[in-house]
Structure 1
Amino acid sequence: MGGHRGRHGTRAAVTLCAAAALAAPLVLGAASAAPATDGPARQGAREPSVLDCAARPEVRPGAFLLACGDANSRLVSLHWARWDARAAVGQGVNQVNDCVPYCAVGTFRSYPVTVRLDSPDERSHFTRISLTYSGERPAGAPRTVSYPLPG
């Protein structure tokens, strides 16, 4: 290996990696507009599922990205006590970027939550998620917050 790559070669590699990381949410967001047409959840059994950022059905996911565009809010360490045709209920942690002083250098804070998925559509995809914070919660967030999900 030529040992004279120096700072410029390293800087270029870091720049390429950063550009790829920034482009990934845009690609995922574009993919979520097109519904998936294959896979076991689409071909028979109507096991309830939740669509991820790439419009793929997930059953009992261990993690779930809430902010597909910028990845600044995600659920991790999910454990499901209920998962049936009407609703799913579990416990986990909501990791939220505090964006201080701005999101690119913010700190992810962890908040324990109870997660509920419900309102399944005709394809058995849950179309609403509710988070109930059991202790501390992100600044300005109510104790329970609900979001629509793509169906």
Structure 2
Amino acid sequence: MRRYTVSTAVTLCAVASLAAAMGPASAFPAAAPPAAHAVQQQPAPPVLVDCLWKPQVHPGDFMLACGDGNSRLASLRWSHWGADSAQATGTNLVNDCDPYCAAGTFHSYTVTVRLDDPKPWAKNPKMQQFTRMSLVYTDGRPDGFRQTMTYPLWS
């Protein structure tokens, strides 16, 4: 009988120790649910849609003439990319198409690129895309171009 009393006492002590270690339920604060409202996600920045219908942010290069490749932006360095606009400096490589485009020569022109007028993208309306691009030629420009050229971007 003593054997049962000792084992019962050991079991009761173990249970009491475990209960004391855990403490009463009110001693521990309830786990707080994730505060979804406290951390609001910022909307994704608008994108620049390329010739292959892929959205881009901060591209290093960008094709302007998708059909024939006779005008593209290269070496873009973005100083700003925000919800309403983006700005970069880079080079506009333009084919002079002289005597015809396949035999023409590409010339480099330093430009400042500005993107603006974000709107929902037709392919993915939850995503904003820039719909207008302005190029400001800072050191020479192609024949027939104004110092600032503004283009609508495809959607």
TM over 0.5: yes
Number of equivalences:
108
Shift of 1:61: 0.3
Q: Is the 8 A contact 2:45 2:81 kept in 1?
A: no
Structure 2 Cα separation of the partners of residues 84 and 51 of structure 1: 16
* Structure 2 counterpart of 1:20: none
Structure 2 Cα separation of the partners of residues 70 and 118 of structure 1: 25
**What secondary structure does 2:128 align onto?**
coil
TM-score by length of 2: 0.67
Shift of 1:124: 1.3
Shift of 1:134: 0.2
Q: In structure 1, give the amino acid aligned to 2:81.
A: W
Gaps of 5+ in 1: 1-43
Q: Tell me if 1:146 matches 2:139.
A: no
Structure 2 Cα separation of the partners of residues 112 and 48 of structure 1: 24
> Considering only aligned residues, what root-mean-square deviation do their CA atoms show, in Å?
1.2
Q: In structure 1, give the amino acid aligned to 2:139.
A: G
Structure 1 Cα separation of the partners of residues 88 and 44 of structure 2: 20
Aligned counterpart in structure 1 of residue 100 of structure 2, from 99, 102, 109: 102
* Structure 2 counterpart of 1:50: 48
Q: Deviations over 1:75-101 (max 9, x none)?
A: 000000000010000100000000011
Q: Is the 8 A contact 2:115 2:134 kept in 1?
A: yes
Gaps of 5+ in 2: 1-41, 121-126
% identity of equivalent residues: 54
* Structure 2 counterpart of 1:125: 129
